[in-house]
């Protein structure tokens, strides 16, 4: 039996049962090699629509398509054996109707997603219920909603006013009541994120929220120091791969220009006659 065959992928019921237990560890992944490196260390690989900005150079997540998400979901699936794979439904693929959402979610599940994630609150409750009733697990997303950045006017923290805090709390409860097995709470003031975690029956996963959430997620490129200047307040860089890549590329360029590379050990000699 192969090693991969002996490892069972974490299931959605197992994640849901982690409420109030050992924190859930989640990171984004978009490619097979990165998924392979992260897989032993995380519970969830999130194929986020952040791929549009991180990998494809878009200004926001709004331009991400189902085809893009399907491509990256399949890549992450090939690179992992343990972590549950949660894929974002991209903007425009689920807002019009539950049937549209099902078609997009079905495509992503076929490519290897364990569940899908969508943003919103009460206005998305019917869609969440429609999907979960048809066998598609849904992770909700409340607080700062990147797909609604044009309506929100930017990426500022949410829930600072009592009125907005109550709206976000209501959105979280609506998602859970509709059947979401977990919630991402993004860019939300800490007391509100803690309150949501206390008042909903499913695990919460924070990003710019609270240490009291039931888990945490970061964009892997932020964690690795690959996203340059302007890192959000809630990000902790655990490495400086941008510096390492720059140093390696500079050293390679210098060796090529000085004809130090390739050396004799890097080229192929003629085969000597026997």
Does CATH number 3.20.20.60 belong to domain 3-239? yes
- Among residues 67, 111, 186, 190, the one annotated as catalytic is 186
Helix (H, G, I), strand (E, B) or coil at 245: helix
> Running DSSP on this structure, what letter comes out for residue 11?
P
**C-alpha R_g of the chain:** 21
* Chain segment 250-266, per-residue pLDDT in tens: 999 999 999 999 999 99
pLDDT above 70 coverage of the chain, percent: 95
Instruction: Give 229's pLDDT tier (boundaries 50, 70, 90).
Output: low
* Chain segment 115-169, per-residue pLDDT in tens: 999 999 999 999 999 999 999 999 999 999 988 876 766 668 889 999 999 999 9
CB 52 within 8 A of CB 60: yes
Place of tokens 């050990």: 265
Mean pLDDT over 108-116 rounds to: 98
Taking the domains of the chain in order of start, what are their residue ranges? Answer: 3-239
Helix then strand then coil, in percent of the chain rounded to 5, is 45, 15, 40
Q: Is 186 a catalytic residue?
A: yes
The predicted model scores a pTM of 0.94
CB 205 within 8 A of CB 182: yes
Find, among 139, 181, 132, the residue nearest to 18 by Cα: 181
**Residue 272 labeled ligand binder:** no
Specify the pLDDT at position 152.
64
> Running DSSP on this structure, what letter comes out for residue 186?
E
**Residue 50 labeled ligand binder:** yes
**Residue 88 labeled ligand binder:** yes
Residue 115 buriedness (CB in 10 A; 0-12 / 13-18 / 19+): buried
């Amino acid at each position: 039996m192969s090693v991969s065959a002996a490892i069972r992928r974490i299931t959605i019921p197992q994640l849901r049962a982690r409420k109030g237990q050992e924190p859930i560890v989640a990171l984004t992944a978009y490619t097979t090699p990165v998924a392979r490196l992260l897989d032993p260390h995380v519970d969830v690989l999130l194929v986020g629509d952040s791929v549009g900005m991180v990998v494809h150079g878009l200004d926001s997540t709004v331009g991400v398509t189902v085809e893009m998400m399907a491509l990256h979901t399949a890549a992450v699936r090939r690179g992992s054996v343990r972590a549950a794979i949660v894929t974002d439904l991209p903007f425009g693929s689920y807002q019009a109707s539950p049937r549209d959402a099902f078609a997009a979610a079905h495509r992503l599940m076929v490519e290897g997603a364990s569940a899908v994630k969508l943003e919103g609150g009460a206005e998305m409750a019917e869609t969440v219920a429609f999907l979960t009733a048809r066998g598609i697990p849904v992770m909700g997303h409340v607080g700062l909603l990147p797909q609604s950045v044009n309506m929100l006017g930017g990426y500022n923290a949410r829930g600072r006013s009592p009125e907005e805090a109550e709206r976000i709390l209501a959105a979280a409860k609506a998602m859970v009541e509709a059947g979401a097995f977990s919630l991402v709470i993004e860019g939300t003031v800490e007391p509100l994120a803690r309150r949501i975690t206390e008042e909903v029956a499913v695990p919460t996963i924070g990003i710019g929220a609270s240490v009291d959430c039931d888990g945490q997620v970061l964009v892997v490129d932020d964690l690795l120091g690959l996203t340059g200047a302007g890192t959000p307040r809630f990000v902790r860089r655990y490495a400086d791969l941008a510096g390492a890549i720059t140093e390696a590329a500079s050293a390679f360029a210098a060796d090529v220009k000085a004809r130090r590379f390739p050396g004799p050990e890097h080229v192929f000699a003629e085969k000597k006659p026997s």
